[in-house]
Amino acid sequence: MSNLHIIAPNDSPNTDGIDIGSSTNVFINNSTIETGDDCIVINNGSSFINISGIFCGPGHGISVGSLGKNKKYATVEHVHGGSGYARNITYENIILVGVKHPVIIDQFYDPRIINNIGQAVKVSDVTYLDIHGTSRGKNAIELNCDIIIGCTNIVLDNVNITRVYGGKAQTICTKAHGMCSSCYPDVPCLSQNSSIIRY
């Protein structure tokens, strides 16, 4: 899919632009998605999803979620309350405009499972490259990982997100491990590295 323009009011709930589930080899590029909820969602059973050149906002951005929801083995080659994994995910060349949650990994997104420590879907090898834009909320980057399982090999490279309404954009960072290079705002739980090698 390419050259799409999807619009919904920014205050309209459940208006995902594109939902992908149980799919392989999906390409979405060079598109504008302006919705009140997620621009794009990648759900259970999906692999080899390529998303690039997306103008996204003001909703929740591009999400990988609802994994492990039914306690089944979730495979997306993100992110709570079940078994399975989310791995080998790359977000690249994305422009965010007034997005509610620009960069988020949350193994406790569902408040009903907040106390189920050690039962999160495993998250690893997630890369954010060349992500720029603005956040409507104070937290531009949220990495909220399980204290036992954690999130591993999280890489942010050339990420710059400022607040729409002024003030310093902030980061929430719990038990995420990886590297950050040229990141704003700073991501204190990730190692600062000025020379991440791209392949």
Show which residues are catalytic: 60
Q: Where is 32: in which H helix or E strand?
A: strand 24-34
**Residue positions counted in the chain:** 199
Residue 5: half-sphere exposure toward Cβ, Cα within 13 Å: 0
Residue 167 burial (CB count, 10 A): 9
Q: Which ranges of 75-143 does DSSP label H, i.e. alpha helix?
A: none
Closest CA to 107 of 81, 88, 137: 81
The span from the CA of 26 to the CA of 41, in Å, is: 12
Q: What is the DSSP letter of 112?
A: G
Per DSSP, 136 falls in state: S
Which two structure tokens, joined as six digits, stand for 89?
């995910």
